[in-house]
Chains A and B, each alone.
Chain A
Amino acid sequence: MTGPGSVRFEGVVKRHGETTVLHGIDLAIQPGEFFVLLGPSGSGKTTALRIMAGLETVSGGRVLMDKRDVTHKEPGERDVAMVFQSYALYPHMTVAQNIGFPLKMVGVKAAAIAQQVAEAAAKVNIGHLLERKPGQLSGGQQQRCALARAIVRQPRLFLLDEPLSNLDAKLRLETRLELHALQRTLGTTTVYVTHDQEEAMTLADRIAVFMEGRIAQVGTPREVFSAPQTMTVASFVGTPQMNLIPGRWEGSAVTVAGHALPVSRTAPGARDVMLGVRPSDLWIGSSGLPARIERIEDLGDSAIISLTGNGQILKSKGDPQPARQGGDEVFLTFAPATAHLFDPHSGARL
């Protein structure tokens, strides 16, 4: 894609005293992209976002926007807008004043501000709330107000820091869809931080998975889900998390506790591996790895079965199993093509 809004991190390092929060991050975000920074708490994703915003300085490396070095530019000089997790609305101003504030700060005339505020508010469906104060709005309305404040001045980059985390589950789903549609309409590059992998999967054009201050993988949601590059990414993305079973890879099978489980690739030589199988790919069959059912969680349209096999807890997700019950001895199997193989020491995908 062309147009403004590209972001590039070159070896960005961030230290807080003795602690290193980001270990030399490299990242390239394309113009118009919906890019999600996904990772558990403390993985450095929010720090990366704040560095993009200019709210945090870097300890090393460079930040480029549209090929220009902005590493040492002030937040106000970067032409970016941010929606904070807490929304950070100005409580003493009305919704209209909140949305119009960025325009007022760059000297836009009052009449033009009123018009642009009305347009931005209409885009997020809060046109009827303009005279209220933030304290008189619901959580969802506050969130929309924060969004309107971000879009009103048409920045080159939107930064969103877990903007849905304070909403209830139903509203979160609705807002997620609206947010996606809004980004597509505006076409503005959007960087979105979340620890919710479902949010990441549904919103992102591409995802960067952060783990302990490093980017473990960058790719489309499909790539990250179906071909995780490390064991940590594999176990972080997907619910319930991927089953990781130690075994020995020999020929085109992985042997676990004396049972050969076929995989689609042939080992170059016998070696220890970590066999990864997503719960949705692991099902109860007539042969395979022996296991005992511990618990069945019936979700109505599906069921999550917890089992003990190979001395560890394994999970299988599939159709409801009314005939099965806790204590049943079964065999677990999977299609060879759905198996993931990782180096048990480095965690890297094989």
Chain B
Amino acid sequence: MHRSAIRQIALAAVAGVGLAVWVFPVIWGLLTSFKAERDVLAYPPVWLFKPTLDNYREVLFGASSILPNLWSSCVVSVLTTLLTMLIAIPAAYALARLKYPGKRASGFYVLATQMLPPVGLIIPYYLALQRIGWLDSYSGLTATYLTFSLPFAIWLMVSYFEDIPLEMEEAALLDRAGRLRTLWYVILPQVRGGIAVAAIFVFLNAWNEFMFAVVLGGNRVRPVTVAMFNFISVEQTQWSKLAAGAMLAMAPVILIGILAQRHIVKGLTFGAVKGGGRR
């Protein structure tokens, strides 16, 4: 009993330190976003200051508004998510269920694409998009994100599909549902959780992406992650505006995280608990 109490306290302490390390930059950023520039640079740092909404006003509606960039991020992320799910759902189903020549090879290919270091792909992607005139376009950035999100989403959803008993599908086939209607009426409603998890992760990855956006985007399509760099220049860094921009960019991520927390945790522990694997 005594030992377990010590253990509990030690665990809580470690978790507390971990949480503090994680939460400090967020809190600091949040505070900075409400500070005047003078307070930001004060040394020693001030904890009590007169909060201002000027930074948010400037970042949203001022000369360097990030609203168009938030819109760009939104378009690219939503498009990437929709297209990924549209392709990944049937692909994952096929990998989980259908028997076809080359199934094992295609399964490996899906996983293998995840092993490529993204930085090595930037130049080939740049050249390819330049050749087809897709640089600085929604199509170009979305297509690029698809190449990363598809393997991830397929890989994640295969285990969900595999967990549906085969007999249920056979029953639907005997009930004259056919393959597509079986998928629609019987299988998809049961893998809703998996679809939600995959969609959330794909959206968040696209929303947070920076490296490809900075190289393959431009003046027309500039996601918010890139736009925030406008607040950093050779002469000065506008810390408070940068912080306000970061808070605004983080807002949808945090919102989705809170709303989908239950699904995400379930989705990540799914394979471990059920022991599902590719047949």
Residue numbers of A with Cβ under 8 A of B are 53-55, 74-76, 80-82, 84-86, 88-92, 101-102, 105-106, 149
Task: Please state if A80 and B174 are interface contacts (CB–CB under 8 Å).
Answer: yes
Contact A75–B173 (Cβ < 8 Å):
yes
Cross-chain pairs A/B with CB under 8 angstroms, 21 sampled = A53-B170, A53-B174, A54-B174, A55-B170, A74-B173, A75-B174, A76-B173, A76-B174, A80-B174, A82-B170, A82-B174, A84-B167, A84-B171, A86-B165, A86-B167, A88-B168, A88-B170, A101-B177, A101-B185, A105-B176, A149-B171
- Which residues of B from 54 to 99 have beta carbons under 8 Å from A? none
**Contact A106 B168, beta carbon cutoff 8 Å:** no
Q: Are A105 and B174 closer than 8 Å at their CB atoms? A: no
User: Do A105 and B181 form a contact, CB below 8 Å, given A84-B167, A88-B168, A92-B190?
Assistant: yes
B175 at the interface (CB under 8 A from A): yes
The answer on a CB contact under 8 Å between A82 and B171 is yes
Inter-subunit contact A76/B177 (CB<8 Å): yes
Across-interface contacts of A76 in B (CB, < 8 A) = 173-178
Residue of A at shortest CB range from B189?
Answer: A92
**How far apart are A201's CB and chain B's nearest CB, in angstroms?**
27
Q: Give the Cβ gap from B166 to chain A, nearest Cβ, in Å.
A: 9
Interface size class of B (residues with CB under 8 A): 10 to 19
Q: Is B186 an interface residue (CB 8 A)?
A: yes
How many Å from the CB of A93 to the closest CB on chain B? 8
Beta-carbon nearest neighbor of A155 in chain B: B174
Give the distance in Å from the alpha carbon of A146 to the alpha carbon of B215 in the complex. 58
Bound-complex Cα distance A91 to B171 (A): 13
Residue on A nearest B170 in the bound complex, by CB = A55
Q: Which residues of chain B are near A89, meaning CB under 8 Å?
A: 168
Chain B proximity of A67: nearest CB distance (Å): 22
Assess the B173–A55 pair: CB atoms within 8 A: yes
Residues on A with beta carbons closer than 8 Å to the beta carbon of B168? 88-90
Give the CA-CA distance A54 to B170 in the complex, in Å.
Answer: 10
A149 to B177, CA, bound (A): 14
Judge whether A102 and B176 touch: CB under 8 Å: yes
5 cross-chain pairs, A with B, having the tightest CB-CB distances, nearest first: A76-B176, A102-B175, A88-B171, A88-B167, A92-B189
B175 and A101 contact, CB distance less than 8 A:
yes
- A contact residues around B176 at 8 Å (CB): 76, 102, 105-106
> How distant is B173 from chain A, measured CB to nearest CB, in Å?
5
Closest residue to A106 on the B side, CB-wise?
Answer: B176
* Contact partners of A92 in chain B: CB under 8 A: 189-190
Given the interface contacts A76-B177, A105-B177, does A91 sit within 8 Å of B167 by beta carbon?
A: no
Please report the C-alpha to C-alpha distance between residue A178 and residue B1 in the assembled complex, in whole angstroms: 57
Q: Which of chain B's residues have a CB closer than 8 A to the CB of A91?
A: 190
CB B192 to nearest CB in A, in angstroms, measures 8
In angstroms, Cα B165 to Cα A88, docked, is 8
A86's nearest neighbour on chain B, judged by CB, is B167
User: In whole angstroms, how far apart are the Cα atoms of A21 and B135 in the complex?
Assistant: 58
Question: In the complex, are the beta carbons of A90 and B186 less than 8 A apart?
Answer: yes
Q: Among residues 175 to 196 in chain B, which have CB atoms less than 8 Å away from a CB atom of chain A?
A: 175-178, 181, 185-186, 189-190
A89-B167 Cα distance, complex, nearest whole Å: 9
Q: Which residues of B contact A88 (CB under 8 A)?
A: 165, 167-168, 170-171
- Nearest CB on A from B95, distance (A): 20
* Distance, CA A105 to CA B181, complexed state (A): 8
List chain A residues, Cβ under 8 A from B185.
Answer: 90, 101
Report the bound CA distance from A101 to B168 in whole Å: 12
Q: How far is the CA of A13 from the CA of B172 in the complex (A)?
A: 26
Counting chain A CB atoms within 10 Å of each CB, the highest count among B167, B176, B185 belongs to B176
Q: Which residues does chain B contribute within 8 Å of A55, judged by CB atoms?
A: 170, 173-174
Given the contacts A86-B167, A92-B190, A105 and B173 also touching, CB distance less than 8 Å: no
- Contact status A81-B181, CB under 8 Å: no
| Partner of B174 from A81, A90, A106 at Cβ < 8 Å | A81
CA distance A74 to B176 in the complex (A): 9
Pick from A54, A74, A85, A105: contact of B175, CB under 8 Å = A105
For A90, the chain B residues whose CB sits under 8 A away are 168, 171-172, 185-186
Q: Which residue of A lies closest to B181 (CB)?
A: A105
Which residues of chain B have C-beta atoms less than 8 A from A54's C-beta?
174
Q: Across the interface, which residues of A come within 8 angstroms of B172, CB to CB?
A: 90, 101
Can you name the residue of chain B whose Cβ is closest to the Cβ of A97?
B185
Q: Distance in Å from the Cβ of B177 to the closest Cβ of chain A? A: 5
CA A84 to CA B165, docked complex, whole Å: 11
Residues of chain A lying within 8 A (CB to CB) of residue B174: 53-55, 75-76, 80-82
A149 to B175, CA, bound (A): 9
Min CB gap B178→A, angstroms: 6
Most B-side CB within 10 Å, residue of A81, A88, A89, A149: A88
Give Cα A86 to B164, complex, Å. 13
Closest residue of chain B to A92, judged by CB? B189
New A-B contacts (6) at CB < 8 Å, excluding given A81-B174, A106-B176 = A74-B173, A75-B174, A89-B168, A90-B168, A105-B176, A105-B178
Q: Which residues in window 103-140 of B have CB below 8 A to A?
A: none
Residues of B within 8 A of A53 (CB): 170, 174
